[in-house]
């Protein structure tokens, strides 16, 4: 956890630079380390041993590497593992409908609890490169789409709480089809 930058560090507020392709072996190793961190953080034994906070996404600038790349590791609603490294990702299209996590979002760079709703697109289509430098286009929805938008924000120096309504943290945007991630679609 000591290698993870915390809020207040200017690197987290900087816009990350595009990664040069083909991917250097150093960048590839960085992605592998980041992915290993997420896996360890979700492993009860490892996380207890190294006092890790559990995370499902990590962007390179969170470890001080100002490059446009991030990793994600979690399970989808059917329990399947979703494991991806993204290099120079772009959201090329998204739903109009939005979702939010009722418990708000968490971040390895934020040690305090933050309350409030963070509006996110319900689904996003992402185009970028994987850890082998191969071009990839994939669609994600629900929780995975939230992770992607949270990590993509990091690459632009945006923190999740920037998107919470300042006056009322539980106020949702008006004129938008938005629901809790756990509510059934109408
Ligand atoms: Co974060």
Distance 161 CA to ligand 1 centre (A): 10
CA separation, residue 10 to residues 3, 38, 106, 152 (Å): 15, 23, 19, 17
Contact 149, 136 (CB under 8 A): no
Going from the N-terminus, what domains does the chain have, and what CATH number goes with each? 10-180 (3.90.45.10)
**How many angstroms separate the alpha carbon of residue 57 from the centre of ligand 1?**
7
Q: Is 45 a catalytic residue?
A: no
Residue 175 DSSP label: T
Q: What is the pLDDT of residues 9-66, one digit of tens each?
A: 999 999 999 999 999 999 999 999 999 999 999 999 999 999 999 999 999 999 999 9
Q: Is the model's pTM score more than 0.85?
A: yes
DSSP-derived letter for residue 122 is S
């Amino acid at each position: 956890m000591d290698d993870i930058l915390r809020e207040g560090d200017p690197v987290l507020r900087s816009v990350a630079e595009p990664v040069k392709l083909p991917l250097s072996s150093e960048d590839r190793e960085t992605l592998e380390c980041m992915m290993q961190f997420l896996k360890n953080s979700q492993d009860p034994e490892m996380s207890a041993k190294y006092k890790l906070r559990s995370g499902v996404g990590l962007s390179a600038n969170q470890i001080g590497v100002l490059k446009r790349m991030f990793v994600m590791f979690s399970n989808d609603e059917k329990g399947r593992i979703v494991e991806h490294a993204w290099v120079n990702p772009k959201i090329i299209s998204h739903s109009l409908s939005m979702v939010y996590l009722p418990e708000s979002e968490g971040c390895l760079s934020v040690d305090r609890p933050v309350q409030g709703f963070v509006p996110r697109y319900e689904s996003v289509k992402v185009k970028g490169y994987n850890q082998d430098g191969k071009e990839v286009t994939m669609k994600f929805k629900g929780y995975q789409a939230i992770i992607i938008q949270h990590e993509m924000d990091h690459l632009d120096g945006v923190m999740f709480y920037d998107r919470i309504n300042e006056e009322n943290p539980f106020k949702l945007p008006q004129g938008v089809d938005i629901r809790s991630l756990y509510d059934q679609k109408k």
